[in-house]
């Protein structure tokens, strides 16, 4: 007897256009998920997860770390990219080769050739954590896409327009899903709804998100 590994539906990689410029690559990162988690462990043993403070003084509910030439930071002085981890004063950990290669191949699959990220922000969500609607505008070149990788517990992503007032659409993102945001989608407002408690075989009670950026 052949083992029934997958139940009703086998896992499937699909390419779903979301809006002009944004593409969901379902399960694109699934074959690499275990090694990505091992790399997250290595990076965050050097640059531990922390809850950064917004310029307004509130702690972000997602814990963050970074790797690559530049990391994104927020504190009372504002938002910016910088080469040193403010907690240690040392350079951020190098971006693992497997991170770079995954980001490059995902961008290429979505039609963006030659994506070379210099920054990777690692977000870790625990139950109750969320990220409100915002734009990513601390990067220098908005013609460069952003690639995001979801790992662990599922979450609902919110995707708005170019104005905060535009009503966002909701897109469920699951373990292994990769989204490429470029072109006219690059400056759209986005966020994630509150994480619900759960247990994932690889990540336990957490959702991790990697966002790859070209900051300079």
Binding site for ligand MD3 (CB under 6 A): 121, 123, 131, 136, 146, 148, 179, 181, 185-186, 188, 190, 192, 209, 211
Return the number of the residue (100 or 147) whose C-beta is nearest ligand MD3. Answer: 147
**Residue 44 contacts which entry, Fe ion, ligand MD3, none (Cβ below 5-8 A, type-dependent):** none
Which 3 state secondary structure label does DSSP give 20? coil
Return the number of the residue (85 or 136) whose C-beta is nearest Fe ion. Answer: 136
Contact 151, 34 (CB under 8 A): no
**Residue 26 contacts which entry, ligand MD3, Fe ion, none (Cβ below 5-8 A, type-dependent):** none
Return the number of the residue (66 or 89) whose C-beta is nearest ligand MD3. Answer: 66
Contact 67, 120 (CB under 8 A): yes
94's CB contacts (< 8 A; 6+ apart) are 67, 68
Determine the residue with CB nearest ligand MD3. Answer: 209
Size of the site for Fe ion (CB under 5 A): 1
166's CB contacts (< 8 A; 6+ apart) are 160, 189
CB neighbours of residue 52 within 10 Å: 18
Interface residues with Fe ion (CB under 5 A) are 136
């Amino acid at each position: 007897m052949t083992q029934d590994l997958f139940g009703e539906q086998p896992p499937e990689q699909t390419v779903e256009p979301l809006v002009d410029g944004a593409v969901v690559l379902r399960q694109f990162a699934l074959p690499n998920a275990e090694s990505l988690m091992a790399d997250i462990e290595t990076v965050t043993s050097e640059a531990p997860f922390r809850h950064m403070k917004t310029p307004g003084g509130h702690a972000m509910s997602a814990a963050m770390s970074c790797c690559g030439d530049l990391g994104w930071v927020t504190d009372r002085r504002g938002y910016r990219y910088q080469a040193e981890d403010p907690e240690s004063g040392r350079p951020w950990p190098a971006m693992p080769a497997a991170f770079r290669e995954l980001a490059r191949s995902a961008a290429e699959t979505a039609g963006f050739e030659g994506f070379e990220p210099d920054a990777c922000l690692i977000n870790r969500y625990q139950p109750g954590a969320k990220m409100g609607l915002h734009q990513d505008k601390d990067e220098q070149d908005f013609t460069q896409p952003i690639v995001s990788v979801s790992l662990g517990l599922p979450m609902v992503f919110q995707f708005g327009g170019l104005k905060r007032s535009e009503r966002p659409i909701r897109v469920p993102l699951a373990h292994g899903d990769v989204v490429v945001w470029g072109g006219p989608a690059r400056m759209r407002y986005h966020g994630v709804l509150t994480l619900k408690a759960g247990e994932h075989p690889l990540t336990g009670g957490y959702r991790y998100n990697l966002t790859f950026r070209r900051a300079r």
